[in-house]
């Protein structure tokens, strides 16, 4: 099977069978949402921290296969990770999608996230793939600042 087909299959699998889609069963979660006004994608990401670890993360949303699959992959990548590692994951995925190799942490095993590399061929779709990651970044920032479980929305923009 050609690599492009494998990547498409991975994205479709995460779209059709999303991981961690729904709500967190915690009253101490912090949520943030993102909207891509160009295509109408919308993703809300909630996370719960214990000390400096993401103990739970989930998303809800609607949109194209790329935005929803990326959100699913994101939850798998960051759940259970230390905050510093979550920030490394964000930078790495951002670098992968925006073709900034200096942001990519070579020590991280991308796993299914490697399928998103093909999105670079379609610049307008990069925003779709980054939507959940940007919402995660906002939620993490709010949680670290001691913010209450509140919704913040960010319009996703990329370079």
Please report where in the chains the tokens 């959940």 appear, as a residue. 132
Q: Is 89 exposed, middle or buried (0-12, 13-18, 19+ CB in 10 A)?
A: buried
Tens of pLDDT along 91-102?
999 999 999 999
Residue-range definition of the domain harbouring residue 129: 3-155
pTM for this prediction: 0.90
Distance CA 23, CA 60 (A): 7
**Phi, psi for residue 109 in degrees, rounded to 5:** -90, 110
Per-residue CA distances from 141 to 27, 38, 79, 87 (Å): 18, 25, 16, 10
So what's the pLDDT on residue 151?
A: 52
- 101-105, 125-129, 143-147: least confidently modelled range: 143-147
CATH of residue 46: 3.90.1010.10
In the chain, what's the furthest Cα-to-Cα distance? 48
- Count structural domains, the chain: 1
Tens of pLDDT along 32-90?
999 998 889 999 999 999 989 999 999 999 999 999 999 999 999 999 999 999 999 99
């Amino acid at each position: 099977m050609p690599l492009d087909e494998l990547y498409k299959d991975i994205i479709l699998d995460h779209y059709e069978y999303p991981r961690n889609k729904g709500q967190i069963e915690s009253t101490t979660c912090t949520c943030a949402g993102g909207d891509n006004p160009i295509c109408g994608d919308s993703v809300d990401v909630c996370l719960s921290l214990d000390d400096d670890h993401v103990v739970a993360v989930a998303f809800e949303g609607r949109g194209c296969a790329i935005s929803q699959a990326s959100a699913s992959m994101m939850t798998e990548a960051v759940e259970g990770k230390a905050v510093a590692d979550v920030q490394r994951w964000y930078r790495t995925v951002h670098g992968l999608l925006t073709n900034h190799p200096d942001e990519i942490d070579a020590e991280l095993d991308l796993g299914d996230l490697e399928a998103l590399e093909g999105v670079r061929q379609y610049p307008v779709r990069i925003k779709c793939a980054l939507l959940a990651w940007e919402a995660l970044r906002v939620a993490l920032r709010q949680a670290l600042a001691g913010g209450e479980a509140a919704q913040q929305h960010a319009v996703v923009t990329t370079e």
